Amino acid sequence: MIKHFHTKFFRILFTASVLFAANCNSSQAQEQKNIIQKIIKKFISSEKDSSRSASFMVLPAVGYAQETGFEYGLASTYNFYMDKENLESRTSNITLIGTLTTKKQKNIKLLSDIWTKKNEYHILSELRYRDWPFNFYGIGNDTWKTDEDYLEQKLYRVKLDVEKKIIPNLYAGVNVNYEHFQFQDVEADGIFTSPEVLGKDGGQYAALGASVLYDTRNNTTYTSQGFYGRVKYAYAPKFFQDDDFTGSQAEIDIRGYYPLANKLVLAAQGLYRGTYGKNVPFYVMRDLGGDMTMRGYYLGRYKDKNYLTAQAELRYRFHPRVGVTGFLGTGSTFSEDHKARFLPSYGGGLRYFFSLEHSSSIRFDYSYGEKRPGEKRQSGFYLSISEAF
């Protein structure tokens, strides 16, 4: 009897243990399944999140150049609504980009684009510290690769724009911008020593201004319909040294978005930036190139007091998560001393939408520029968070 009881007891205990273990394994398996489902829904599924929740994305940033050594860091963005209950509330975002190099160089940038409740205020800000070398090619749009001059640079920047809604879609506001530059010419007797290059040691300035924005875009991150027009002006008085920048800066940015068919959109942009003053240091001049306009050109390959460009993109979002883009553009720097010479920019790219709620994308672009005699065709690959415009 006792033997039978013990046998029965151990059978019950064994069965209970198996059931408990199975239940634990089942719970763990269910938990893993739930995690996988959440990941699929967040990054792969074409089902849109109806909770209007925020989204966060981090991309690694790695690279290598002889001047900097190995570069490493991250680029991250956080998209959210200031008012989740209001379906008209526009997407706000905060972007942080930071990289370091094995040669102790640093590049840290914090950007924000905020739309408050009822879209009553539009607030733009930038904080930046840059200890980074760059290549200087001279002033004007007829510079050459053989004149490339390597410069060390330190930059401190603080920018703030605050615009208030006056009537539906129309905003007006004020802005402040402070920049402080330091330079060191690593290679003596290069083009940087040219007499027309002012501000060789660097300098600082503070500019105060105003802006007007008219914005009917249906979405601020991936626009498929609407118009955007912004005019901005700022004046830098004599706050600092006599040789620091004193003058005006102006910007006109016009964009239009036209749906051609289901999932197919034509986007176009015209942009003008100008700097005015008697003695304009090279560090406040306008640069052609980069990952936003005139893709395919090294940022600053062509530099002058004025910059005018136009670009168009044909965007096809054939899947909620994936799209492709073809683009072309033209642009030029110019001034009284250097006439405009409009250059080509063309290429294509792939889009991955990591947030369907906010239509937030990761951008992979490859672009081509001009081929100057005796030089390779200028080109560039770009991995960025958010659209070019």
Query: For residue 153, which phi and psi values (nearest 5 degrees)?
Result: -145, 140
Tokens matching residue 380: 């560039």
Percent of the chain exceeding pLDDT 70 equals: 88
3-state secondary structure of 29: helix
Distances (CA, A) of 380 to 146, 369, 383: 19, 9, 10
pLDDT bin (cut points 50, 70, 90) of residue 15 is: very low
Over residues 223-252, mean pLDDT: 96
Give the C-alpha separation, 152 to 316, whole Å: 41
Check: CB of residue 363 under 8 Å from CB of residue 380.
Answer: no
Give yes or no for residue 34 having a pLDDT over 80. Answer: no
pLDDT at 18: 39
pLDDT at 271: 98
Give yes or no for residue 322 having a pLDDT over 80. Answer: yes
What does CATH list as the number for 54-385? Answer: 2.40.160.50
Give yes or no for residue 20 having a pLDDT over 80. Answer: no
Give the C-alpha separation, 276 to 209, whole Å: 14
Give the C-alpha separation, 94 to 205, whole Å: 26
Give the C-alpha separation, 118 to 121, whole Å: 8
pLDDT at 39: 56
Q: Which residue has the tokens 């008209």?
A: 88
pLDDT bin (cut points 50, 70, 90) of residue 104 is: confident
pLDDT at 25: 53
Tokens matching residue 213: 């924005």
Give the C-alpha separation, 140 to 134, whole Å: 17
Check: CB of residue 267 under 8 Å from CB of residue 221.
Answer: no
**What does the domain layout of the chain look like in residue ranges?**
54-385
Tokens matching residue 256: 């239009």
103 vs 114, more confident? 114
> 224-234, pLDDT tens digit by residue?
999 999 999 99
pLDDT at 5: 36
pLDDT at 312: 98
Give yes or no for residue 260 having a pLDDT over 80. Answer: yes
Over residues 305-312, mean pLDDT: 98
Over residues 36-59, mean pLDDT: 73
Give yes or no for residue 9 having a pLDDT over 60. Answer: no
DSSP line for 300-322:
TSEEESEEEEEEEEEEEEEETTE
Q: Which of 10-19, 80-89, 214-223, 300-309 has the lowest mean pLDDT?
A: 10-19
Rank 3-7, 12-16, 56-60, 122-126 by mean pLDDT and report only the highest: 122-126
Check: CB of residue 329 under 8 Å from CB of residue 357.
Answer: no
Distances (CA, A) of 212 to 113, 116, 161, 257: 16, 17, 11, 20
Give the C-alpha separation, 365 to 216, whole Å: 27
pLDDT at 19: 39
Give yes or no for residue 222 having a pLDDT over 70. Answer: yes
Query: Rounded mean pLDDT of the chain?
Result: 89
pLDDT at 103: 85
Check: CB of residue 358 under 8 Å from CB of residue 344.
Answer: no
Task: Outline where the chain has alpha helix (H).
Answer: 2-43
Give the C-alpha separation, 352 to 385, whole Å: 10
Over residues 253-263, mean pLDDT: 97
pLDDT at 194: 94
Burial class (CB in 10 A: 0-12, 13-18, 19+), 174: middle
Tokens matching residue 215: 């914005």
Strand partners, 330: 310, 344
Over residues 93-110, mean pLDDT: 94
Tokens matching residue 13: 């205990």
Which residues lie closer than 8 Å to 293 by C-beta, 6 or more apart? 269, 271, 309, 311, 329, 331, 388, 389
Q: Which residue has the tokens 């900097």?
A: 68
Give yes or no for residue 345 having a pLDDT over 90. Answer: yes
Q: Which of 41-45, 163-167, 224-228 has the lowest mean pLDDT?
A: 41-45
pLDDT bin (cut points 50, 70, 90) of residue 268 is: very high
For the chain, the maximum distance between any two Cα atoms, rounded to a whole number of angstroms, is 111
pLDDT at 37: 61
48 vs 167, more confident? 167
pLDDT at 21: 42
